[in-house]
A and B are shown apart, each in its own frame.
Chain A
Amino acid sequence: MQATTEQLLWMYEKMVEIREYEETMAKVYLEAKLPPKIQKGLAFDIGAGPVPGEMHLAAGQEPVAVGVCAHLRRDDTVVGAHRPHHFAIAKDVDLNAMTAEMYGKATGLGRGKGGHMHLFDPAVKFSCSGIVGAGAPQACGAALAARKLGTDAVAIAFFGEGAANQGAFHEALNLAALWKLPVVFVVEDNKYGISVEKSASTAIASNADRAVAYGMPGVLVEKNDAVAVFEAAGEAVARARRGEGPTLIEVKTDRYYGHFQGDPETYRPKGEAKALRQHDPIPALGALLRSRDLLDDESDAALRTRVSARVQAAYDFGRNSPYPEPQDALLHVFAD
């Protein structure tokens, strides 16, 4: 499946947006978390600053999100994992409300009750979970609902290679294949489950090989490349929409930051992250666009200005929004 000009440009712009979003977050996140502004003796204070708590950034993993979401409609469901920003942005989650949520503000997607690992935007059918592997069965449910409601909507479950060793992953694959559900399971292999290398956690090199055990196609995308992901996902999404059942895709991708911000990354060879950036998928797609005369310096600059305005506006919105009233903690345990 060939990407159209429009799709290529969309993927490029979204990747630029995701990257700027994550790089901005990396800076904002550190505000007020370092000495001398924190308790004496600490090197870092996770609970301090305008964006407190854990923070898992996805810079480097943009191709997985845009290559898949380029095929999706508003009524398709995406279930992401604990590192969710790239998926959310690629699924057109409201950027202002998403950012406000990370600031813990009343205007956030969850009114400040979820935070960055628990983003819910029902308008575009996006959700995610901080529990590794948990989203895979939930995507099966969304797909089951689509079939029962008679639509051709599909569901995507995104998760890391670490999740593929969870029971939830294996149960979901069996269920999806058994019931021929319109689901695509997408494994982001960024090589590490926090600190543990895939070779130390998984007995086989590619999770795509596991697909055959469940009676579904398994596809390995060996390059961290938006077009390569686009092509693999195009087949899988089309197959799902035709009612022919699920597909498992694994993408070899790169994580530029630590598992979470503040991760000392002692488990990584020195310079690894820097070396990975030599194969940055954003300039790679930019070069492809330029080779086809779809992008030049002027249009690239215009695109980046446009993206920057969106991203910075979202951060301003988050920062300047009001906090919820403390007693609002008691609301929303149950629906009325």
Chain B
Amino acid sequence: MSTTTTTRRLTMAQAISEATAQEMARDPRVFVMGEDVGKYGGIFSATTGLLEQFGPERVMDTPISETGFMGAALGAAAEGLRPISELMFVDFFGVCFDQIYNHIAKNHYMSGGACKYPLVITTGIGGGYNDAAQHSQCLYSIFAHVPGLKVVVPSNAYDAKGLMTTAIRDDNPVIFLYHKGIMGLSWMSYFEGSTNEVPEAQYTIPFGEACVVREGSDVTIVTLSQMVQKSMLAADQLATEGISAEILDLRTLVPLDRAAVLASVAKTGRLLVADEDYLSYGLSGEIAALVAENLDTLRLKAPVRRLAVPDVPIPFSHPLEQFAIPQVDNIVASVRGLMTFKLD
């Protein structure tokens, strides 16, 4: 970064809005549509200020009609535009998934590469604020499971801006999932580590490059999104006990930086996957399988451990929800547990 670059502390919501605004100014093909993205500025403030700057032709409030406007995003992308289409909560994918997984994800492939669909679907994920089972899920593993979608899950404002710019410039469909509890909203408590210094100028962060957000030597915590912030707090606590945790923020699930996972686990010999999605058949299993497939070259000092939502819908009541979603204390306890093993 050059010394003349101006940076400011931005929330993740501000960073996403800024990335979108700058790209819209640069590229007239980019436009935004979705529910309450205009006057409201996005329910989670991911489109704040865009309507004022670009007007209603490029920042379009849609009816509550996700199949309609996700299909329209595909149709517009096929014609060479670059839509950003907001699915207010990821939990709502059920009302429009046909357009996403059967068409947006597959049409490029089924056309033998002849057609391109450069579009971004932005969506809010995550719990921790008592919104219960239909408004609190992460579900990124479902999108990552379907071939043809790139999946981006930032943990902080700096990454969010660079990844969003990359997403808009990508010629493929990208699902950009922002956790509500790190957006820096004025009406929901958030992890302050997610608000950080963001350059005013445009920049990109390549997909498929995980980031070591804290170096350590005893254990690797592979994580993403809000769970990165929880892991950072856990690592502080573990450090006071003499345990050095390395935290790897995946940043994108598709493409996945497998080399970064393997390199860190090779260094520490211990792996905890800290995930806010459901435990079974998802991200944490994928990372564990990756390590298992490389045991010919990796030497583990402890079995792999996974922290995730224990295969229950997200409950409403505060003590129930705090139990179901992994917390800082759970990360600390899991790492302590890992340190008790002595595998040869």
Contacts and interface: CB of A to CB of B under 8 A. Distances in A.
Interface string B53-66: 00001000011010
B226 interface: no
A109 B112 CA distance: 7
Nearest to B77: A141
A141 B78 contact: yes
Contacts of B79: 77, 125, 141-142, 145-146, 149
A336 B171 CA distance: 8
Contact of B81 (A134, A148, A168): A148
B72 A138 contact: yes
Interface stretch (A4-12, A35-43, A113-121, A295-303): A113-121
B206 interface: no
B116 interface: yes
A131 B106 CA distance: 12
A283 B270 CA distance: 77
A138 B72 CA distance: 5
Which of B31, B63, B107, B114 counts the most chain A CB atoms within 10 A? B114
Contacts of B78: 77, 122, 127, 138, 141-142, 145
Interface in A93-122: 108-114, 118, 120-122
Interface stretch (A169-177, A228-236, A249-257, A270-278): A169-177
Nearest to A324: B112
B57 A137 contact: no
A174 B62 CA distance: 11
A167 B72 CA distance: 14
Interface stretch (A22-30, A59-67, A187-195, A326-334): A326-334
B172 interface: yes
Interface residues of B, number: 41
Contacts of A79: 75
Contacts of B148: 333-334
Nearest to A120: B111
A141 B75 contact: yes
A111 B71 contact: no
A173 to B, nearest CB: 9
B323 interface: no
A139 B71 CA distance: 8
A138 B75 contact: yes
Contact of A111 (B31, B75, B113): B113
A131 B102 contact: yes
Contacts of A131: 98, 102-103
Contacts of A136: 71
Nearest to A155: B75
Interface in A171-221: 171-172, 174-175, 178
B312 interface: no
Contacts of A139: 75
A285 interface: no
A332 B71 contact: no
Using C-beta atoms within 8 Å of the partner chain, give the interface range for chain A.
35 or more
A148 B76 contact: yes
B112 A108 contact: yes
A133 to B, nearest CB: 9
A171 B67 CA distance: 7
Interface string B170-188: 0110000000000000000
Nearest to B60: A179
A137 B110 contact: no
Nearest to A130: B102
A299 to B, nearest CB: 37
Contacts of B67: 137, 167-168, 171
Contact of B147 (A146, A333, A335): A333
A120 B107 contact: yes
A127 to B, nearest CB: 7
Contacts of A134: 71, 98-99, 102-103
Given A145-B80, A145-B81, A148-B57, A332 B112 contact: yes
A140 interface: yes
B12 interface: no
Nearest to A148: B81
A253 B117 CA distance: 34
B110 A120 contact: yes
A144 interface: yes
A139 B77 CA distance: 11
A142 B76 contact: yes
Given A113-B109, A113-B110, A172-B68, A144 B102 contact: no
Contacts of A137: 67-72, 74-75, 99
Given A77-B79, A136-B71, A333-B148, 7 more contacts: A109-B111, A118-B110, A118-B111, A142-B79, A155-B75, A175-B72, A334-B108
22 contacts: A108-B112, A110-B111, A120-B107, A120-B110, A127-B78, A127-B107, A127-B115, A129-B103, A134-B99, A137-B68, A137-B72, A140-B68, A141-B71, A141-B83, A148-B76, A148-B81, A149-B80, A171-B63, A175-B65, A332-B112, A333-B147, A335-B172
The 10 A-B pairs at the shortest CB distance, nearest first, are namely A141-B75, A137-B71, A111-B112, A171-B68, A145-B79, A120-B111, A141-B72, A110-B112, A138-B75, A114-B110
Interface of B: 31, 57, 62-63, 65, 67-81, 83, 95, 98-99, 102-103, 107-116, 147-148, 150, 171-172
